[in-house]
Chains A and B, each alone.
Chain A
Amino acid sequence: MSEPSIFFSEVNERQGTFHRRSFLLGGFAGAGMLALGGRLAHLQILEAQRYEKLSASNQFNFRLVPPPRGLIVDRNGEILATNRPNFRLLVVKDGVHEPGATLKTLAHFVPLDDDRQARLMREFERTPNQRPVSVLEDMTWEQFSAINVRAPEMPHVTADMGEVRVYPHGGAFAHVIGYVAKVNREDLTETGPNSEPILLHPGFRIGRQGVEKAFDLDLRGRTGAKKVEVDARGREIRHDQDGDIPAQPGKTVELTLDVDIQNRALEVMGDESGAIVLMDCRSGDLLCMVSTPSFDANRFVRGLSTAEYRALADYERRPLLDKAMSGTYPPGSTFKMTTALAALSAGINPEERINCGGGWYFGGRTWRCWRHGGHGPQNMHDAIKNSCDIYFYQVALRMGPDHIARAAKALGFGQTFDIGIPGQRSGVVGSTEWKRTQVKRDPTWHPGDSVSYGIGQGYVAVNGLQLAVMTARLANGRKQLNPRLIKSVGGVEMPPGDEVPPLPFSPEHLDYVRAGMISVANDRSGTAYRQSQLGLGDVMMAGKTGTAQVRSYDGVASRSSDSVRWGLKDHNLYVAFAPIDDPRYAVSVIIQHGGMGGATAAAPRAREVMRVALLKDPEIRARIERPLPMPDVSDVPPVGQAPDAPIEGPPLAADPAAPT
């Protein structure tokens, strides 16, 4: 410290400046630390609660638990739609990891071909981050455990167990029940039940058709939730049982259909295209409603490939169309009961005979009867029994279309019924008013229109359900019976079909028409005698055949040509009820392009389905199986030698007329 003073002062000045400024640095550091401390106090003391909430919402997550979808059962509780366990493989995209690489890894353990991977990659592109995508459904137990064991190495992959819809009866109920399928973007709504987040769950399915669609909300149930602790990747760390909200299963929907009748109907239809509807003509319950060819609804649950869908959509027999409700056909001769009732109501004497010579010249052309040789003089009963066209041409012409339309409406044509599921088409019931408003190019009703109207051609189109309702109302004879398909939903009984106004026809007229139908099926000369024998003793069936033209036969030699292409053949129809003395069931059968004459294709099938329905009915069964009344009391054999009760009528197995 003994340097020269000038140097010293110089040193001193530097030191002084440094000291002053290092205080400043110290002050700056101190201020900085205080600022940090203040910020800490702000975050950790003043705003602690807010951040605690944010932290908890990070840490805990309510995972939605999809509710088990409600069952669909038949009238006897037989299961038509249920759920089975499904091992699924889910992959989450998080914006960091490339899902393609994950799929490639997964392809080592489970079958994931390149096509499927490409399809999944497109799905990943559409899916927001953090939402799982279902990569594979219905894994085997081996695949499921193989993935589960490797889960820790594949943080974006989870194998879980969900439920998948299954239809044990495959095609038999496909049109009525419909199916469930993956949720599309179009299904989602801003509000209402379809805005619920459960719809985004990878395994969730939404009702697409039939009962599944119409009762989707009832079947869906209430979504549950489980409280889980998750890490930043969204993986479940712990499950807090106390925080669970259990899922409520969907309601059970009970149908009026009967599995046995439905299956038999599908069976007897074989390869034919058409519909069978069977209805209880006391209550209005539909026991059978089948449309063929059908399809396996289970395929739709998983999602059809484009090829599968095209195959279904392009087939000319149109499996996807419900022919019982959505297909409308000219009723042909099955309409003659309606014409007859209209004529009776219009005051035409049924005993008046009209001569059928096989043809009738009117309005510049010859109107032919289906029987070229003619039926001879016919009263109304004969005309129904023989299905004489000439008779009904003339009767229809005489009373005009509006009488017929009124009767047709009263019997259920030209309308849809509230059976709970969508898809019915009302068809056409022609009248002067209808033609004036609906047929723009020719609004006048011509007498010739009435002529073909009388035999169920021209301006009339009906569906299978309407035909069954018409038959049931005729058979019931009192009420304007409505069909019912949904028996109950979640245990709540749906309104029955028999709390309805009476039919606007006199009982005598109805008896007259029914007698005609009985003759059709039971007089040896009736048009469907051979095909209408039930073989159930005194339980007998009444019916009416029908043939509906799909093209004009003017100038064509024969209608019954077997060589014509399928799509050009006539539709083949049959309606029936049984037993004739105490009607219980009404059935309608439509065989699209089944060939001429309702007896050939439709009647044998109606008989088969009717037999199953009758044999399943305990009252009818008791009637069939009851012993014959003893002819004479004095003939009682000694005790112990009582003969077996003889079976009345031909044996059940004897079936002389197999369906053609």
Chain B
Amino acid sequence: MTVSALTRPGERDRLVVKFTQIDWTFVIALCLLAGTGALMMFSVAGSSWEPWAGAHLFRFGFCLILMIALALFDIRVWFALAYPIYGLGLALLVAVELFGDTRMGATRWLDLGFISFQPSEVMKVGIVLALARFYHGISAENARLSWWLLIPALMIAAPVLLVAHQPDLGTAMLIALTGAAIVVLAGLSWRVIGAAALAFLVAVPPMVMFVMHDYQRKRVLTFLDPESDPSGSGYHILQSKIALGSGGFFGKGYGLGSQSQLNFLPEKHTDFIFATLAEEFGFLGCASVLAIFAAVIFMALRTASLAHSHFGRLAASGVTATFTLYVLINGAMVMGLAPVVGVPMPLLSYGGTVMLTVMIGFGLVQSVRVHRYTEVTSGKGAFV
């Protein structure tokens, strides 16, 4: 099929054509990452599909189908649903504040009877959609510096404060940074960016000392000096570093990682699965996986830059920013560069919620790609 063929009116709306427009290299990269995750779970379970590896692959399969289905949704559908999804997310966050389940000291879960889930996950996609939708409608001038910008500031602040109050600092930070990324991408004045960065730096130490919960402060302080309490809160960081370092260049071999196999490594199949990988496959394995992550990020960014609509561009890059933050934060945590926060390595770590969120986001990215030539207008009845 030639490019000229696509230019025929209506041709791009055919489902089969849309299907071919999905970035299949991107899909293969995702499969590789999820497969690596399953491989490590198989290893740490003592060469068993139970309890994690099988479930992980099954979930990924389901999420992949969902992602492809979402990719075929017209970008204008996403556009139209942007504010409703954000509104729903916000409503759920308020609901969780009022009726949520408290598990392990944090109120994050909403029990709907048949399923319980974390509304903060909805907001991860919701904030991207809503901000993209907002910036789609305003001029470059207004996006740089104007009173209009109070609206995105509120849009970000509301969910961040609600989530931080749960308390789920990791997710709150992720939402805030994703929002900030979109605001910057949309063209915020560098002066404002500089001033905000400065304000942030000034605000962090008092935040740590006065606003955080004890366990959160302890995590941060332990991060600064992990050897101070090797069997207490510094344990996770130290054991993770031992797992990484002892892997060496080539790794200890598949199924031979003593740190993970003998349970010295905490959360070896979830948040710290990268350390398991590092121990058994060494620098070579880690660098390869990091390269695949980088490829996924750049393919997604390229998709964003291809889009003709501002909404598409911002939405795709917003999702990419979330994904990038996941990878960098988890990586830094596992390598002892950041405090232990409950941020998993997307696709690699075991856990359904994050995988669902990430794959829905990638569904949006692929939808942007499939519909990259589609013009989106903010007027009434603009979409089909």
Chain B 233-267 interface 0/1 with A at a Cβ cutoff of 8 Å (1 = within): 00000010111111111000000001100111000
- The listed residue with most B CB atoms (<10 A of its CB), out of A26, A44, A233, is A44
Bound Cα distance from A14 to B140, whole angstroms: 5
- Check A52–B287 contact: CB distance below 8 A: no
Could you say which of B24-32, B76-84, B183-191, B364-372 contacts chain A? B183-191
- Check A40–B290 contact: CB distance below 8 A: yes
Could you say which of A16-24, A80-88, A519-527 contacts chain B? A16-24
Bound Cα distance from A11 to B135, whole angstroms: 12
Chain A 59-101 interface 0/1 with B at a Cβ cutoff of 8 Å (1 = within): 1000000000000000000000000000000000001000000
Minimum Cβ distance to chain A for residue B361 (Å): 15
In the complex, chain A residues 13-62 whose Cβ is within 8 Å of any chain B Cβ: 13-15, 17-19, 21-22, 24-26, 28-30, 32-33, 35-37, 39-41, 43-45, 47-48, 50-52, 54-56, 58-59
- Check B290–A36 contact: CB distance below 8 A: yes
- The listed residue with most A CB atoms (<10 A of its CB), out of B139, B181, B248, B317, is B248
**What residues on A are CB-neighbors of B231 within 8 Å?**
95, 129
**What residues on B are CB-neighbors of A110 within 8 Å?**
none
- Check A14–B143 contact: CB distance below 8 A: yes
Minimum Cβ distance to chain A for residue B139 (Å): 6
Could you say which of A224-232, A274-282, A391-399, A539-547 contacts chain B? A224-232
Chain B 106-142 interface 0/1 with A at a Cβ cutoff of 8 Å (1 = within): 0000000000000000000000000000000001100
**What residues on A are CB-neighbors of B216 within 8 Å?**
none
Interface membership of A10, Cβ < 8 A: yes
**What residues on A are CB-neighbors of B314 within 8 Å?**
18
Bound Cα distance from A13 to B310, whole angstroms: 11
Using known A-B contacts A43-B245, A54-B246, A59-B262, determine if residue A21 contacts B335 with beta carbons closer than 8 Å.
no
- Check A45–B297 contact: CB distance below 8 A: no
- Check A40–B244 contact: CB distance below 8 A: yes
CB < 8 Å neighbour of B242 from A17, A19, A32, A55: A55
Closest to A11 in B: B310
Interface membership of B174, Cβ < 8 A: no
- Check B305–A33 contact: CB distance below 8 A: no
Interface membership of B359, Cβ < 8 A: no
In the complex, chain B residues 181-219 whose Cβ is within 8 Å of any chain A Cβ: 181, 184-187
Interface membership of A237, Cβ < 8 A: yes
Interface membership of B331, Cβ < 8 A: yes
- Check B262–A58 contact: CB distance below 8 A: yes
Give how many A residues have a beta carbon under 8 Å from the other chain's beta carbons.
Answer: 45
CB < 8 Å neighbour of A58 from B242, B287, B327, B332: B242
Minimum Cβ distance to chain B for residue A340 (Å): 76
Chain B 306-325 interface 0/1 with A at a Cβ cutoff of 8 Å (1 = within): 00001001100100110010
Interface membership of B158, Cβ < 8 A: no
- Check A48–B262 contact: CB distance below 8 A: no
**What residues on B are CB-neighbors of A29 within 8 Å?**
294, 297-298, 301, 320, 324, 328
Bound Cα distance from A56 to B297, whole angstroms: 37
**What residues on A are CB-neighbors of B327 within 8 Å?**
32-33
- Check B283–A41 contact: CB distance below 8 A: yes
Bound Cα distance from A35 to B264, whole angstroms: 26
Interface membership of B272, Cβ < 8 A: no
- Check A25–B328 contact: CB distance below 8 A: no
**What residues on B are CB-neighbors of A13 within 8 Å?**
140
- Check A18–B185 contact: CB distance below 8 A: yes
Interface membership of B37, Cβ < 8 A: no
**What residues on B are CB-neighbors of A237 within 8 Å?**
262
- Check A14–B248 contact: CB distance below 8 A: no
- Check A15–B310 contact: CB distance below 8 A: yes
- Check B246–A233 contact: CB distance below 8 A: no
- Check B185–A40 contact: CB distance below 8 A: no
Bound Cα distance from A274 to B231, whole angstroms: 57
Interface membership of B278, Cβ < 8 A: yes
**What residues on A are CB-neighbors of B185 within 8 Å?**
18, 21-22, 25
Minimum Cβ distance to chain B for residue A40 (Å): 5
- Check A43–B263 contact: CB distance below 8 A: no
Interface membership of B88, Cβ < 8 A: no
**What residues on B are CB-neighbors of A232 within 8 Å?**
262-264
In the complex, chain B residues 92-112 whose Cβ is within 8 Å of any chain A Cβ: none
- Check A44–B140 contact: CB distance below 8 A: no
- Check B294–A33 contact: CB distance below 8 A: yes
Interface membership of B358, Cβ < 8 A: no
**What residues on A are CB-neighbors of B343 within 8 Å?**
none
- Check B187–A39 contact: CB distance below 8 A: no
- Check B304–A22 contact: CB distance below 8 A: yes
Interface membership of B52, Cβ < 8 A: no
Bound Cα distance from A18 to B181, whole angstroms: 11
**What residues on B are CB-neighbors of A59 within 8 Å?**
258-259, 262, 264
**What residues on B are CB-neighbors of A52 within 8 Å?**
245-246, 248
Minimum Cβ distance to chain A for residue B292 (Å): 11
CB < 8 Å neighbour of A17 from B187, B245, B259, B262: B187
- The listed residue with most B CB atoms (<10 A of its CB), out of A10, A59, A230, is A59
- Check A51–B317 contact: CB distance below 8 A: no
**What residues on B are CB-neighbors of A10 within 8 Å?**
139-140
Closest to A51 in B: B245
- Check A45–B249 contact: CB distance below 8 A: yes
Using known A-B contacts A29-B297, A58-B264, A229-B262, determine if residue A21 contacts B184 with beta carbons closer than 8 Å.
yes
Closest to A3 in B: B375
**What residues on A are CB-neighbors of B297 within 8 Å?**
26, 29, 33
23 CB contacts below 8 A, A to B, read: A13-B140, A14-B143, A15-B313, A18-B186, A18-B310, A18-B314, A22-B313, A26-B298, A29-B297, A33-B294, A33-B327, A36-B331, A37-B290, A41-B283, A44-B245, A48-B246, A52-B245, A54-B242, A55-B245, A55-B246, A95-B231, A129-B231, A231-B262
| Sample of 5 more A-B contacts, CB < 8 Å, known A18-B313, A29-B324 | A14-B187, A21-B184, A21-B185, A28-B324, A36-B335
Residues of B within 8 A of A (CB): 139-140, 143, 181, 184-187, 231, 239, 241-249, 258-259, 262-264, 278, 282-283, 286-287, 290, 293-294, 297-298, 301, 304-305, 310, 313-314, 317, 320-321, 324, 327-328, 331-332, 335, 337
